[in-house]
Copies of this chain bind each other. A is one copy, B any other.
Amino acid sequence: QDEALIFERESRNGTGVDLPAPDAGAEDLAGLVRAAPLSLPGLSEPETVRHYVRLSQKNHAIDLALYPLGSCTMKHNPRLNEKLARLPGFADLHPLAPVSAVQGALGLMDRLSHWLKTLTGMPAVALSPKAGAHGELCGLLAIRAAHAAAGQVQRRLVLTPTSAHGTNPATAAFVGYEVVEIGQTADGRVDLADLAAKLSDEVAAIMVTNPNTCGLFERDILEISRLTHAAGAYFYCDGANFNAIVGRVRPGDLGVDAMHINLHKTFSTPHGGGGPGSGPVVLSAALAPFAPTPWVVHGPEGFRLLEEAGDEAVQAFGRMTAFHGQMGMYVRAYAYMLSHGADGLRQAAEDAVLNANYIKARLSGVMSAAFPDGPCMHEALFDDRWLEGTGITTLDFAKAMIDEGFHPMTMYFPLVVHGAMLIEPTESESRAELDRFCDALLALAGAALSGDVERFTAAPRLAPLRRLDETLAARKPRLTWRAPEPGVAPAPLAAE
């Protein structure tokens, strides 16, 4: 079942592409051509197809079974959206084609913006960020620009809770802010008193995820935004969990100044093994003038694009990316929105929350919920107190789920909960599948509590590979394949 690397094939000089002869005439690149031939294997089309089809079967996927990775929102990806994104009018469109030739594309961006603004209750949106973290960057750059325009250059701090996604502090640091942590209450929310104590005229912004990474709605959100604004700071909301509230709560009504929206999560563009994502950022009226270029604007003869600061968009803080962002994802997300409609998006959020609470209710008898009181939102958080004394860790338990045909939940995140297990089912799961999942977990939990340690520490047994040595990989990084030297046997990596 092992699939050799493409570089390890005997026959490396086939071709999977038939090309014509180059046009006649002398090559005009004397001295500029690469010296050594490019030693990369070329496979015929049948060999290529087989290589990738075989490899694909080594992956888990949402199309195969529940994929309950908390905070990752693995929901169903409709194939209609794939089909529409491939219409030549979208897929075969050049980003710098004349504006008259791309009116439909600009129109789509305009409509998508309208949906995002309406759903969030915010007046503006910057579409171009290419992923959630890129959206965070965009939001903080807008905040920075707004403070600069107001002469508030002393604001050098960003406050963020301990439970935040790692990208929040990373992004703040990336644009030169100093990060200060806010404490958390026993019920898993921002500690208001700590927040109030740390707010000052040196604070540029707070970054709060809502619903937060414990899967809980920040009950005091209105007070959080009031305090923040009173201190002259902006409220950046991490919108990774917007899928839990879309259609029921508008972040604009909560006092949010900027929030990125992971189109691949809330609006179901495929995750594709780790990207591409798309992270448009909605902005409050205070921040809107600082949005990065390009902007789609209405003109007398249709849509226009403002691509450079220096046009009307004088205050734009700059540009996030070449061109206009993830058009392929815009098409998919817009098709998803139209399919659900206002009613369906709201229903999807409700079903996602219902599914998470159902899992929480079914598992809480055996596993220890991190925050047992009150409902959770779209994900159910457990800790590892219930495994105490079993000799089994969260990691072991998660790996054992693989042998039951499920992808493990998110582990050890958020950091504020010991041995965290964060389960997000999404609205895509049927009751039968949820029951199958809960039954499997309860059976596993029973085995764990009855001392069947081996089943966990030796897991997974039914995957293509057993547990992988991540330490070895990091200690002796082998990041590319290198041809074995002639006459020397290739040295396999070995754990020491």
Closest chain B residue, CB of each to CB of A44? B430
Interface string of A8-23 (1 = CB under 8 A from B): 0111001000100000
Contact B78 A50 (CB under 8 A): no
Once A53-B64, A63-B53, A64-B54 are accepted as A-B contacts, the answer to whether A46 and B9 lie under 8 Å apart by CB is no
Q: Looking at the assembled complex, report how far the CB atom of A348 sits from the nearest CB atom of chain B, in whole angstroms.
A: 12
Contact B76 A11 (CB under 8 A): no
Chain B residues in 8 Å Cβ range of A11: 430-432
Chain B residues in 8 Å Cβ range of A10: 431-432
Once A11-B430, A432-B10, A432-B11 are accepted as A-B contacts, the answer to whether A1 and B46 lie under 8 Å apart by CB is no
Closest chain B residue, CB of each to CB of A66? B50
Interface string of A304-341 (1 = CB under 8 A from B): 00000000000000000000000000000000000100
A49 contacts partner chain B, Cβ-Cβ < 8 Å = yes
Chain B residues in 8 Å Cβ range of A9: 432
A65 contacts partner chain B, Cβ-Cβ < 8 Å = yes
A480 contacts partner chain B, Cβ-Cβ < 8 Å = no
Contact B45 A1 (CB under 8 A): no
Closest chain B residue, CB of each to CB of A47? B430
Chain B residues in 8 Å Cβ range of A65: 50, 54
Q: Which of B53, B63, B430 contacts A49 (CB 8 A)?
A: B63
In the complex, which of the residues A49, A405, A432 has the most CB atoms of chain B within 10 Å of its own CB atom?
A: A49
A428 contacts partner chain B, Cβ-Cβ < 8 Å = yes
A57 contacts partner chain B, Cβ-Cβ < 8 Å = yes
Contact B50 A63 (CB under 8 A): yes
Once A53-B64, A63-B53, A405-B1 are accepted as A-B contacts, the answer to whether A78 and B431 lie under 8 Å apart by CB is no
Chain B residues in 8 Å Cβ range of A78: 45
Contact B63 A428 (CB under 8 A): no
In the complex, which residues 23-80 of chain A have their Cβ closer than 8 Å to any Cβ of chain B?
A: 44-47, 49-50, 53-54, 57, 61, 63-65, 76, 78-79
Chain B residues in 8 Å Cβ range of A433: 47
Q: Which of B18, B50, B76 contacts A64 (CB 8 A)?
A: B50
Chain B residues in 8 Å Cβ range of A18: 339
Q: Looking at the assembled complex, report how far the CB atom of A294 sits from the nearest CB atom of chain B, in whole angstroms.
A: 32
Chain B residues in 8 Å Cβ range of A430: 11, 14, 44, 46-47
Contact A46 B76 (CB under 8 A): yes
In the complex, which of the residues A46, A64, A65, A79 has the most CB atoms of chain B within 10 Å of its own CB atom?
A: A46
Docked complex Cα distance between A429 and B328 (Å): 36
Closest chain B residue, CB of each to CB of A14? B430
In the complex, which of the residues A10, A18, A50, A65 has the most CB atoms of chain B within 10 Å of its own CB atom?
A: A50
Contact A76 B45 (CB under 8 A): yes
Chain B residues in 8 Å Cβ range of A432: 9-11
Give me the interface of A with B, judged by CB distance under 8 Å: 1, 9-11, 14, 18, 44-47, 49-50, 53-54, 57, 61, 63-65, 76, 78-79, 339, 405, 428-433
Cβ contacts A to B, 23 pairs, < 8 Å: A1-B405, A9-B432, A10-B431, A10-B432, A11-B430, A11-B432, A14-B430, A18-B339, A44-B430, A45-B76, A45-B78, A46-B428, A46-B430, A47-B430, A49-B63, A49-B79, A50-B63, A50-B64, A50-B65, A53-B61, A54-B64, A54-B65, A57-B57
The 8 lowest CB-CB distance pairs between A and B, nearest first, are A46-B76, A46-B428, A53-B63, A49-B63, A47-B430, A10-B432, A50-B63, A53-B64
User: 4 additional contacts, CB 8 Å, given A10-B432, A11-B430, A50-B65?
Assistant: A10-B431, A46-B76, A49-B79, A57-B57
